[in-house]
Chains A and B, each alone.
Chain A
Amino acid sequence: MSLALQKYLDDVMAYANRKQQDAERIRAELQDHLLQKVAELEAQHLPREDAIFQAIEDHGSARTVGYGLRKGFALLDVRTEGTARGFIAIGPRAVGVIAFGGVAVGLFAFGGFAIGAIAFGWLAVAALISCGGISLAPLGVALGMAVVGRIAMGMIASGGLAVGVWVPWAVDRVSLLAGDDGLRFLQFFQDFRNYAGEVGALVIVSWLFMIFPFLAGLMGAIESWEYRRIKKADPKLVE
């Protein structure tokens, strides 16, 4: 089969984001359609290359077809590759009310990078409760649990280095590691906290409120980059 057809089907299936068994069947069905279309166009004396591109064009944008083939939001979606989407989602990337994954987004999110109302992860961003290596919780409580995680930022923050409404005893009572056990460079933050006091806290909390607009801007930039990349690869894919 031609590379152009394969690439088109790859793009469709990437947008469809189906589990492997489903994906193989859908791909086979679309492939059968495209090959028959190419054969028909060739029978009308169109050169093979032109017939392939005509068949792809008539089939429609990979994005439109792929998104159409995407499954609805499942109750439970577990997968070993791609993005899991469901009420409970488990996968390398997971989006759901309860999400577990390398990148997890949900009301309750657990993962290397977790975003949610309640988030646990190496880098956890949450509105309410956030626990992880580096935790940011603008509206709730952030708890730094590991060594690096003794950086905790929030309106109410407890951790190795707490920024926000200070809880002086938090280092010893909440953090799993006491202040002196931390990485050496973190001592700088400890010292800064002691030195800066309320004013420093205010400055850092002000900075904290810029985190979400910054993250939103970053996501927008990534999306825009991805759009340009797809458009460059195949202008037909971008509507």
Chain B
Amino acid sequence: MKSLRKQTLDGNVETMLLAVLEAGTSYGYAIVKDLNERAEGILRLGEGTVYPVLHRLEEKRLVSASWRTAQNGRQRKYYRLTNKGRKALAGNRQQWHLLTVVMQKVVHSTAQLSPAPELKGASI
């Protein structure tokens, strides 16, 4: 049984977070939950490791953040995608698509020789 290596994901977590935020304004906990659900157990992010990435996206102005009072009365930080973030996501998507096409073309013949590995949850 093979697992997804952390290195494979490096640099792509930003894109994944942007994709989650494309659906609308959200906050840390909900973003992590949404991400894990979308990953269907193949990938499980260390929940705290998402925050440095979110803050980095905020510094790059790809997302904007605001504090609001949540239903439980606690102050909560909400993130939303900016126009710059939307453009970055579109560019990253295109890059990702090209990469998968290239990988399919180059690696496909090898993949036919051995069965595809069964994936299990990987944590970073």
Which residues does A use to contact B, with CB under 8 Å?
12, 25-26, 28-30, 32-33, 35-37, 58-61, 64-65, 68-69
Q: A69 and B47: CB pair below 8 A?
A: no
Complex Cα gap A36–B26 (Å): 14
In the complex, the answer to whether B74 meets A26 with C-beta atoms within 8 Å is no
| In the complex, residue of chain B having the shortest beta-carbon distance to the beta carbon of A22 | B55
A60-B49 in contact given A29-B77, A32-B74, A32-B75 (Cβ < 8 Å): yes
Tally A-B pairs: CB < 8 A. Answer: 58
Query: For the complex, what is the distance from the CA of A159 to the CA of B53, rounded to whole Å?
Result: 53
**20 more CB-based (< 8 A) A-B contacts, given A29-B76, A33-B29:** A25-B67, A26-B51, A28-B77, A29-B28, A29-B51, A30-B51, A32-B27, A32-B70, A33-B47, A35-B74, A36-B29, A37-B47, A58-B46, A60-B47, A60-B49, A61-B46, A64-B48, A68-B53, A69-B51, A69-B52
User: How far, in whole Å, are A36 and B29 apart by their CA atoms in the complex?
Assistant: 8
A residues less than 8 Å from B75 (CB atoms): 28, 32
A37–B28 Cα distance when bound, in Å, is: 11
Q: A28-B75, A29-B77, A32-B76 are known contacts. Are A68 and B28 too (CB-CB below 8 A)?
A: no
Q: How near does chain A come to B8, taking the closest CB pair, in angstroms?
A: 18
User: Is the Cβ of A64 less than 8 Å from the Cβ of B29?
Assistant: no
Mostly, the B contact residues are helix
Q: Are B28 and A58 in contact (CB under 8 A)?
A: no
Complexed CA–CA distance, A36 and B75 (Å): 12
Q: Give CA–CA (A198, B13) in the complex, Å.
A: 64
22 contacts between A and B (CB under 8 A): A12-B48, A26-B51, A29-B51, A29-B77, A30-B28, A32-B27, A32-B75, A32-B76, A33-B28, A33-B29, A33-B48, A36-B29, A59-B46, A59-B48, A60-B47, A60-B49, A61-B46, A64-B46, A65-B49, A68-B49, A68-B51, A69-B51
The 3 nearest A-B residue pairs measured at CB: A68-B52, A60-B46, A65-B48
Which B residues contact A (CB, under 8 angstroms)? 27-29, 32, 46-49, 51-53, 55, 67, 70, 74-77
Which residues on the B side are within 8 Å of A58 (C-beta)?
46-47
Specify the main secondary structure of chain A where it touches its partner. helix
Contact across chains for A30 and B48 when beta carbons are under 8 A apart:
yes
> Which among A12, A25, A30, A60 has the highest number of chain B CB atoms within 10 Å?
A60
Q: Are A65 and B52 in contact (CB under 8 A)?
A: yes
Expressed in whole angstroms, the Cα–Cα distance for A51 and B53 within the complex equals 25
Distance to closest chain A CB from B67 (angstroms): 8
**Residues of chain B lying within 8 A (CB to CB) of residue A32:** 27-29, 70, 74-77
Check A59 against B29 for contact (C-beta < 8 Å): no
- A39's nearest neighbour on chain B, judged by CB, is B72
Query: Which residue of A25, A61, A65 has the most chain B CB atoms within 10 A of its CB atom?
Result: A65
List the B side residues contacting A59 at CB < 8 Å. 46-48
Given A28-B75, A32-B74, A37-B29, check contact A64 B47 (CB 8 Å): no
B-chain residues with CB within 8 Å of residue A29 when the two chains form the complex = 28, 51, 76-77
CB of B37, distance to nearest CB on chain A (Å): 13
Residue of B27, B28, B29, B32 with highest tally of chain A CB at under 10 A: B29
